[in-house]
Amino acid sequence: MLPLLCLPLLAILALAAPLESRAPKYNVTSMNEALKRGSEILGTYARCSGSLCSWMSKVPDNTRITDMSIPGTHDTASWDYTLLRQISYLKYTNIIYPSPLYRCGSQSIFAQLAAGNRAFDLRVGFAPNGKDLVFFHSEALLDVNARFEDVMQGFYRFLEENPTEGLVISVKDENATWGTTQALQQSLYTTLTSPLAQQYINPSTSISSTPLSALRGKLTILRRFSLDQLLSNQQTLGIDLTNGWADNNPDFSLSTPAGDKVYIEDLYEPKADKIGLTPNVNLKLDVTTKHITAASGKTKGDGLYLTFASSEQAYQLLFPQVMAQGVIVPGVNQGLKKFLVSGGGKGLKKKGIIFTDFGSETSGFIEAIIA
């Protein structure tokens, strides 16, 4: 007969055992295959470690998503688009702009997650086989093997191991060289509503009143692709941003079918009055800081604020990395960090979602966005 003192300990162990042996929602073999196939975009898998892996754990559950400050990456999948890769894909794309114009980061997706990023900008189209959904930045085919569903499984793996975190995934139909529009819409819809996806994707089509508690362990989809060629019961998915997106615009808004207001800064190609890096950086900084300030004060209205701190100016050879990091003179990231840490943006909260290029290359920048 066990001593009475042992009974409480046994009860605790009995409760803890199911948690320790809890099976993941995914099939382990399929997950490993997906991570291997998607490694050129996802990077090499390693369990996330470090303080930024769980920074959302410090945010109260009842905090609305629209009242948070969330760092993200622009053209997330482009981080490893090199000249050698571009040359190897000439048989698919022919001659396009130099590879640095399309590369918007230096970290794999798993590294981006570990660095604290929680919003991701994915742009897709059919691979040359006309069957697999893969990643593009405009004309640039970023990798022919890593599939959209593989990368989504990488996000699922992260969330399974970091359940306090929530991710926002923007998905855009970027390239229509291969396949048909209807087939592309169907493939995206099928991937994002599969039984596995339903375990991890937040089903809501509204974001304005969503608390963090509903997003923990989940993905929220910002949909930048239409579903108009599908059956009527397949035309609702995620937060619909398809109606009213203004190209290369520093300050616009749109309304979703669910009634949300979304305020956006996306001046990706600033055209300053003067030639050179500094005038273009200053122009981009001006519109970016104004939008972040508006987000913090909700001065344009209540809703979701998206700020793209990303930019390029191709004809001046001001590629994304040059605009973001600067050359001799500071780039956008250094200027934006200074604004947030010691300038007019010091102490601002509710900054919205801020998508950056090469954000982690500036020490403390991601932390300054989260703060």
| pLDDT single digits (tens) 124-138 | 999 999 999 999 999
Nearest partner of 55 among 333, 366, 336, judged by Cα: 366
DSSP codes of every residue in 134-170: EEEETTEEEESS--HHHHHHHHHHHHHH-TT--EEEE
pLDDT of residue 22: 60
pLDDT category, 298, cuts 50, 70, 90?
very high
pLDDT of residue 331: 98
Q: Which pair of structure tokens corresponds to residue 323?
A: 């605009």
| pLDDT single digits (tens) 33-43 | 999 999 999 99
Contact present, 114 and 366 (Cβ < 8 Å): no
| pLDDT single digits (tens) 161-217 | 999 999 999 999 999 999 999 999 999 999 999 999 999 999 999 998 899 999 999
The pTM is what? 0.93
pLDDT of residue 25: 87
In angstroms, the Cα distances linking 327 to 73, 281, 311, 331 are: 21, 11, 15, 7
CA 371 to chain centre: 19
Domains of the chain: 40-50+62-370 (3.20.20.190)
pLDDT of residue 237: 97
Contact present, 226 and 236 (Cβ < 8 Å): no
pLDDT of residue 182: 97
Answer whether residue 268 shows pLDDT above 80: yes
CA angle 58, 61, 64 (to 5 degrees): 105
Mean pLDDT lowest for which of 24-33, 56-65, 143-152, 249-258? 24-33
pLDDT category, 370, cuts 50, 70, 90?
very high
Residue 167's DSSP bridge partners are 219
What is the rounded average pLDDT for all residues in the chain? 93
Q: Are strands 239-240 and 219-224 parallel, antiparallel or unpaired?
A: parallel
CA 350 to chain centre: 18
DSSP codes of every residue in 43-72: -S-----SGGGGGGGGS-TT-BGGGSEEEE
Can you tell me whether residue 24 is helix, strand or coil? coil
| pLDDT single digits (tens) 337-365 | 999 999 999 999 999 999 999 999 999 99
Q: Does residue 307 or residue 22 have the better pLDDT?
A: 307
Answer whether residue 283 shows pLDDT above 60: yes
pLDDT of residue 11: 42
Contact present, 178 and 134 (Cβ < 8 Å): no
Contact present, 358 and 106 (Cβ < 8 Å): yes
Mean pLDDT lowest for which of 141-150, 202-211, 276-285? 202-211
| Separation between Cα atoms, residue 278 and residue 276, nearest integer Å | 6
In angstroms, the Cα distances linking 279 to 155, 239, 315, 342 are: 38, 35, 15, 22
